[in-house]
Amino acid sequence: MSSKNKFQVLFVHEAPYWKGISVYFSGASATFFYSLVKQTSINWEFFSSAILGRFDLNSVRKNKTEDKISVRQFSKNCQTKLMQTNKNISLEKNSKSLILKIGTRRSNNYSRIYQGKNFLKFEHEMKGKFIKTYHTLLIQNHFEEFEHKLSIHFYYRLYSEKYFEN
């Protein structure tokens, strides 16, 4: 293994909304940290007062030649259907693609659907009071139950809703 650092962690001391130290892992760093947790390489006594503040799940669906509509049309159809039941919907274009945003970044559940060149990426952020209920499962190494419950929630939030039927 190279001596060059490949992962990053951010320590924030005394944030305005939190007394103490917040530790942030993102992207590949979060994935690596979670792999260490699953290998039981993390000494939770060091993090004795830690609270799980956010956990993200994502899924990528590659486009198929037999798809009946385009990714762009899928995104627009979802936006139309979602707007009937939820005010916090936006379909935005960035430099790479369209992004359908469901909910707000401040809420306990926030979802995005990214349009890639030949895929759709479904992403769901869980945080706040919602994710805190799963903290104990994580630190007690009940990974199967932790992953199962969060996956069911992810599936329900993004895939099983009727507005994704096109």
Task: Please report the domains of the chain, with CATH numbers, ordered by start residue.
Answer: 1-50 (no CATH), 54-164 (3.30.160)
Tokens of 15: 């944030």
Q: What is the pTM of this model?
A: 0.78
Q: Which residue has the tokens 């945080």?
A: 127
pLDDT at position 160, please? 55
Q: 55: Cβ–Cβ under 8 A, 6 or more apart, which residues?
A: 125, 126, 127, 131, 134, 150
pLDDT at position 166, please? 46
Query: How far is Cα 109 from Cα 105, in angstroms, rounded to an integer?
Result: 8
Residues of the chain predicted below pLDDT 50:
162-163, 166
